[in-house]
Chain A
Amino acid sequence: MEPVTLKVLRYRPEEEVEPTYQEYEVPCQDNWMVLDALNHVKERLDGTLSYRWACRMGVCGSCGMTVNGTPVLTCATYVEDVLPGPVVVEPLRGFPVIRDLVGDITDFMEKLGRVKPWLIRDEKKSPDEGEYLQTPEEVADYKQYSMCINCMLCYAACPIYELEPDFIGPAAIALAQRYNLDSRDQGEEERMDVLSQHDGVWACTFIGECSVVCPKNVDPAGAIQRYKVSATVDWVRSVLMPGRKP
């Protein structure tokens, strides 16, 4: 394989005001991922390059970057699939850059917590009463949404998140639905306070890029549209039966 030019967006706040591109010639081997090329740079060419990664197998969700303009997991993107070079590697869009390819994910972490992505029960069973059992059909209702690895590619791909920073965002809504659709969960009403606001599901105009870039086929766009339907049904009920709780 010919050496590949990586054109990496760098930002070193102690020495520069604006991010700048730096090019590296990387002797890539067959079947290298973009992350392998970055690791080669870090180990052999320039130890000052900063980026996140951990598992190298598409599970941890930390190596998301913009490669040739598209948000991808760099551990799951073959170098040969993004040739010819230079292969442009930039941080994920929509997140403040801390350093080089490392984005500040505070906003996402705060929003994720607001949708309460855990099982909420009105009454908890004691352990000796046994598990909360589910049929395979009940698991299938939410399984797809449980595959989210919080990689934030969907936020980077979402034009609305970039335009409206208060938008709660695709992954947070998909994870809210993961629990709303779980037969063991009773927290839908608590999550509704966040989801049914303008900055919840209604800011979404169904552009659908979140589902296009999702490496786990979670389909956040589908989750959001499903929630819009159930929020509309609740609204119709509240109009027809004003005294009833939603």
Chain B
Amino acid sequence: MSPVAKGAGGRQGTEPERVTRSREPLLWSLFSAGGMASALVLPALAGVLWVAVPAGWVAAPEHGAMLAVAAHPLTRAAVSLLLILFFFHWAHRFRYTLYDGLQLYHLNLLIAVATYGIASALSALALWIVWTLG
């Protein structure tokens, strides 16, 4: 038996439980869209709300005006979509961090159910908050 030039963690011989072929594109597209959306939106939001407003470059919006914007159905829909994508982006990334990073192959199904389950629960909570606001 030849030694294999590998690190200590090489997994051999055991077949992982697999997320079926049909779900991978869905999960990956949510992950991918969430990454893209957060990369585009978060810096802009942070720039305006955490830098430009505190620095006095732009006038701080009135609470009533902000609430009116936030309560507009288009804003609610956009924020809902963004938050759902963020959560599923996190879920996919964290799932693979546990799966590959910690090499918990035998817990694949549990990890998948837990991560996407948490993302689903957070999405439901976010929808409730966003649509009952104001």
Please report A residues at the B interface, Cβ cutoff 8 Å.
11, 13, 18-19, 66, 90-98, 103-104, 159-160, 162-165, 196-198, 202, 205, 228-229, 231-232, 234-236
Contacts and interface: CB of A to CB of B under 8 A. Distances in A.
Given A198-B24, A235-B25, A96 B4 contact: yes
Closest 10 CB pairs of A and B: A235-B25, A232-B25, A202-B24, A96-B2, A96-B4, A232-B29, A198-B18, A205-B96, A93-B5, A91-B5
A159 B9 CA distance: 10
Contact of B11 (A13, A104, A164): A164
Contacts of B16: 164, 198
A197 B21 contact: yes
B25 A231 contact: yes
A162 B10 contact: yes
A94 B5 contact: yes
Interface string B1-32: 01111110111100010110110111011001
> Taking chain B's interface residues, is the majority helix, strand, or loop, or is none over half, making it mixed?
loop
A235 B28 CA distance: 11
B12 A163 contact: no
Interface of B: 2-7, 9-12, 16, 18-19, 21-22, 24-26, 28-29, 32, 96, 100, 103
B3 A11 contact: yes
Nearest to A9: B5
Choose among A92, A205, A228 the residue with the greatest number of B CB atoms under 10 Å from its CB.
Answer: A205
Nearest to B6: A162
A112 B19 CA distance: 24
Contacts of A96: 2-5
A196 B25 CA distance: 9
B30 to A, nearest CB: 10
A232 B5 contact: no
Contacts of A104: 2
Contacts of B22: 235
Contacts of A202: 24, 28
A90 B5 contact: yes
B28 A232 contact: yes
B3 to A, nearest CB: 6
Contacts of B19: 198
